[in-house]
Chain A
Amino acid sequence: MNAKTSNKIAVATLYLIALIVVLILLSLLGYILYNGVPVISWHFLTAPAKAFTAGGGIGIQLFNSFYLLILSMLICFPIALGAAIYLNEYAKQNWVTALIRNAIEILSSLPSVVVGLFGFLLFVVYFGLGFSILSGAIALTFFNLPLLTRTIEDSLSAIPDAQREGGLALGLSRWETVTKIIVPAAVPSIITGVILSAGRVFGEAAALIYTAGQSAPALNFADWNPFNISSPLNPMRPAETLAVHIWKINSEGIMPDAKAISSGSSAVLVIAILLFNFAARFIGRRLYKRLTSS
C-alpha cells in the first residue's frame, strides 16, 4: 500500500471517529434537554419535592444548591486567592514549594467520595456539625480549593513582570504591588475561573451525600433569620442539593414520577452549567474590555 492510499484511509478513519464522538456527545446533550425541558415549569422549579406521590418539584433542592455554592465559594475564594498570591508572588523555587505544589496536585486528584467521607468523619461526626450545609460547604471547599488556586495562580502569572517592576520602581511594597496592581489586572480571568469552578461545584454530589445529607426538610421562605431551624439561611440544617436529589430518587426513590423528575432536574443542572459557562466567557470578556485600554 503506498503512502498516499494509507494517508487517505487514515484521514477518512479520523473523520469517522470524530463524527462518532460528536454524535455521542450531541445525542447525550440532546437526550438530556429533549427529555428534561418539557418537565420544567414554574411549579417544578419552586414546589417542594414529594416523597410518595407524583407532582413534586425541586424548589428546595434548587435553593440548597445555590446556597451551598455561595457559602462554599465564600469560604473557598479567600483561601484560594491567598494561596495563589503566595505561590505566584512570594514562593521561592525550592523543595518546600515543590512539596506544597505536590500536595495541591494530590488534593485535586483525590476522588470526591474520599473528600466527602473525610468531611463526614471530621465535621459531621467529630466536630458535631451534623449533616448540615456548613459541613457540605467545607467539603466542597476542599474539593474546589486546588482547582481554584491553580486557576487564580495562572491568572496572576499571566500578568507581565513589567507591571511588578513598575510597582516596585515606584516605591510600593511587594504586597501593595500585588493588591493594587497585579490582582486588579487579573480580575477578568480570576472571575472567569471562579464561575467555571462554580459550575463544577454546582453539579457535585459524591462529596455531599455524607456531609450536607440526603434530606431536604421543609423551609419557610418567609423566615430569613439564619438561626431559625426552618429558615432557608440556616447553615446548620441538612440540605439535599439538586445533584444529590437525582442520585437519591434513582437509587431509592419511591415516587411514581421519579423518571420525569430526574429528567427535569438533569436538564436544570445542565442548563445551569451551560449558563455558568457562557457567563464566564461573557463577563470575562466584558470586564477585560472595561478594565484595559484595548
Chain B
Amino acid sequence: MDNEKLKRELFRPSKAAKQERRGKFISFSALALIVVAVSAIILFVTMKGLAAFTQNHVNVIDFFTGRDWNPSVKGANGQPEAGALPMITGSFLVTIFSALLATPFAIGTAIFMIEISPKRGAKILQPVTELLVGIPSVVYGFIGLMVVVPTVRTLFGGSGFGILSGTLVLFVMILPTVTSMTADALRSVPRYYREASLALGATQWQTIWRVILRAATPGILTAIVFGMARSFGEALAVQMVIGNAALMPTSLVSPSSTLTSVLTTGMGNTVMGSLQNNVLWSLALVLLLMSLLFNLIIRLIGKKGAMK
C-alpha cells in the first residue's frame, strides 16, 4: 500500500523543477508581452491609418501626390483636400539633407577618434559624444529656435523657419549618434589590417582610405541609415523650427512641415474618428512604414556585410 504512495512521491516533480517551469513561464510571458506590444502597435496604427481610405474614401493616389493639405475643405473634385505630398517631401528633404551634412563630419570625427588620436578621442571626444546622444530632442529644438532660426533669418532672409533650420537642428542632433556608431564600426576592424597595410609601406591616410574605411563600410552605412531613421521620426525638435505650414517647400527657407510636425500639432485639434483625424493617422502609418523600411535596410546591410 505504501508502494503507491512512494511511487507518487518519487514521480512528482521536485520543488526545483516546479520553480524552473514557473520561472521559464514568467520570463517567456515577459518576452511575449513585448511581441504582443509590437504587433498591437503595428496593427492599430495600420487599422487607423487605412480608415481614411476605406471609410472616408480618400483616394490613395491623391493622398500621396496631392499638394494641398486642408482635410476639412472639399477640393474641386469633390474629394477632401488631403494631399500629403508637402509633408512627405518635407520629411524626406530634412532627412536626406541632415544625413548628407552629418555623414562627412561624423566619419571624419570617428576616424580622428579611433585612428589619428586615440588618446584625445577617448578622453574628450568619446565622453562628449556619448553625453550628447542623451540630450533630449526638445532641448535641440529649443536651441534651434533660439540660435539657428534667427541666424538663418539674418543670413538667408525669410522668417528663418523652414527646411534649412530643420536640417541644421537634425544635423546637430544625429551627429553624436552617427559618430559614435561609426567609431564602433572602425573599432571592430581587426588590428592586423592596419599593421598589414602599414607594413606594405602605405601611409596612414592610404591605410585609412583603402583598408579601414572599406572594411568598415557596412557598419558605417548602418550608422548613416540609423541617423536617417532618427531624423525621419524626430517630432518635436523639427516641429519647433520648421514653420508648420502645410505647403510644398518653395525654397529651403520657406515655412513647411514634416509628417511628424503635422501629427504633433494636428492630433490635438481634431475629433477622433473624423476625416480630419483619420488622415492624420494615415500620416502616422506612412511614418510607421518608413521606419519599418529603414529597419529592413539596416538588416540587409548587416546581412551583406556579414557574408564577406
Contacts and interface: CB of A to CB of B under 8 A. Distances in A.
Interface of A: 3-4, 6-7, 10-11, 13-15, 17-18, 20-22, 24-26, 28-29, 31-32, 35, 78-83, 85-87, 89-91, 99-100, 103-107, 109-115, 117-118, 120-122, 125, 142, 145-146, 149, 172-176, 178-179, 196, 199-200, 202-206, 209-210, 214, 243-244, 246-247, 250-251, 259, 262-263, 266, 269-270, 273-274, 276-277
Contact of B128 (A25, A142, A250): A25
27 contacts: A11-B116, A17-B104, A17-B108, A17-B112, A18-B112, A21-B109, A82-B26, A86-B31, A107-B34, A111-B260, A113-B233, A114-B41, A114-B288, A114-B291, A121-B44, A122-B40, A145-B34, A173-B16, A173-B20, A203-B139, A209-B264, A244-B138, A246-B138, A266-B143, A269-B135, A276-B134, A277-B130
Given A103-B34, A174-B20, A90 B27 contact: yes
Contacts of A110: 41, 233, 288, 291
Chain B interface mostly: helix
B206 A7 contact: yes
Contacts, number: 259
A218 B297 CA distance: 47
Question: Which of B131, B132, B236, B264 gathers the greatest number of chain A CB atoms within 10 Å?
Answer: B236
A175 B20 contact: yes
A205 B40 contact: no
B291 A173 contact: no
B248 to A, nearest CB: 22
Contacts of B19: 173, 175-176
A112 B208 CA distance: 37
A179 B19 CA distance: 11
Contact of B136 (A24, A115, A179, A269): A269
Nearest to A141: B37
Given A17-B112, A113-B233, A250-B142, A82 B205 contact: no
Given A199-B134, A243-B136, A250-B141, A22 B287 contact: no
A200 B135 CA distance: 8
Contacts of B141: 246-247, 250
B172 interface: yes
Contact of A13 (B108, B172, B236, B264): B108
A113 B287 contact: yes
A74 to B, nearest CB: 14
A99 B179 CA distance: 29
A126 B229 CA distance: 29
A107 B38 contact: yes
Given A114-B233, A117-B45, A203 B239 contact: no
